[in-house]
Protein backbone atom coordinates (compact mmCIF):
# COMPACT_ATOMS: atom_id res chain seq x y z
CA UNK A 1 0.00 0.00 0.00
CA UNK A 2 1.24 3.49 -0.87
CA UNK A 3 0.10 6.77 0.70
CA UNK A 4 0.55 10.07 -1.11
CA UNK A 5 -0.05 13.41 0.60
CA UNK A 6 -1.07 15.99 -2.01
CA UNK A 7 -0.61 19.68 -1.20
CA UNK A 8 -3.54 21.52 -2.81
CA UNK A 9 -2.45 24.99 -1.74
CA UNK A 10 -3.71 27.43 0.88
CA UNK A 11 -6.87 29.35 1.67
CA UNK A 12 -7.12 32.56 3.70
CA UNK A 13 -10.02 33.00 6.12
CA UNK A 14 -10.92 34.28 9.55
CA UNK A 15 -9.27 32.08 12.20
CA UNK A 16 -12.69 31.76 13.82
CA UNK A 17 -13.83 29.92 10.67
CA UNK A 18 -12.15 26.86 12.20
CA UNK A 19 -13.79 27.37 15.61
CA UNK A 20 -17.44 26.35 16.00
CA UNK A 21 -19.89 28.95 17.29
CA UNK A 22 -17.80 32.06 16.63
CA UNK A 23 -18.35 35.10 14.42
CA UNK A 24 -16.25 35.27 11.28
CA UNK A 25 -14.96 38.06 9.08
CA UNK A 26 -15.44 38.01 5.31
CA UNK A 27 -12.92 38.48 2.53
CA UNK A 28 -14.34 41.91 1.71
CA UNK A 29 -14.84 42.98 5.35
CA UNK A 30 -11.93 41.76 7.46
CA UNK A 31 -12.78 42.87 10.97
CA UNK A 32 -9.46 44.03 12.48
CA UNK A 33 -10.54 42.63 15.87
CA UNK A 34 -10.48 39.14 14.36
CA UNK A 35 -7.41 37.27 13.15
CA UNK A 36 -7.24 36.39 9.44
CA UNK A 37 -5.15 33.23 8.93
CA UNK A 38 -3.84 30.84 6.29
CA UNK A 39 -5.12 27.25 6.20
CA UNK A 40 -3.58 24.33 4.31
CA UNK A 41 -5.72 22.26 1.93
CA UNK A 42 -4.63 18.62 1.60
CA UNK A 43 -5.66 15.44 -0.22
CA UNK A 44 -4.59 11.94 0.68
CA UNK A 45 -4.27 9.31 -2.05
CA UNK A 46 -4.34 5.72 -0.77
CA UNK A 47 -3.08 3.28 -3.40
CA UNK A 48 -4.00 -0.23 -2.21
CA UNK A 49 -4.03 -3.47 -4.25
CA UNK A 50 -7.81 -3.73 -3.73
CA UNK A 51 -8.72 -0.09 -4.39
CA UNK A 52 -7.45 3.44 -4.89
CA UNK A 53 -9.01 6.02 -2.59
CA UNK A 54 -8.75 9.81 -2.82
CA UNK A 55 -9.63 11.52 0.46
CA UNK A 56 -10.37 15.13 -0.40
CA UNK A 57 -10.13 17.73 2.37
CA UNK A 58 -10.47 20.59 -0.08
CA UNK A 59 -13.02 23.33 -0.32
CA UNK A 60 -15.89 23.88 -2.73
CA UNK A 61 -14.50 24.46 -6.26
CA UNK A 62 -16.31 27.81 -6.42
CA UNK A 63 -15.38 28.88 -2.88
CA UNK A 64 -14.08 32.23 -4.10
CA UNK A 65 -17.40 33.01 -5.81
CA UNK A 66 -19.50 33.38 -2.67
CA UNK A 67 -19.65 29.87 -1.25
CA UNK A 68 -17.53 31.00 1.68
CA UNK A 69 -17.84 34.21 3.68
pLDDT in tens, 24-58: 677 777 765 677 788 888 899 999 999 999 998 66
Higher pLDDT, 3 or 62: 3
Higher pLDDT, 25 or 68: 25
pLDDT class of 14 with cuts at 50, 70, 90: confident
The mean pLDDT of 21-25, rounded to a whole number, is 68
Q: How far apart are CA 11 and CA 64, in angstroms?
A: 10
List, in order, residues 6 or more apart from 62 with CB less than 8 Å away. Answer: none
Amino acid sequence: MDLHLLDRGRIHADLNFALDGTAVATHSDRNPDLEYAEFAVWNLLVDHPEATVLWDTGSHPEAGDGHWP
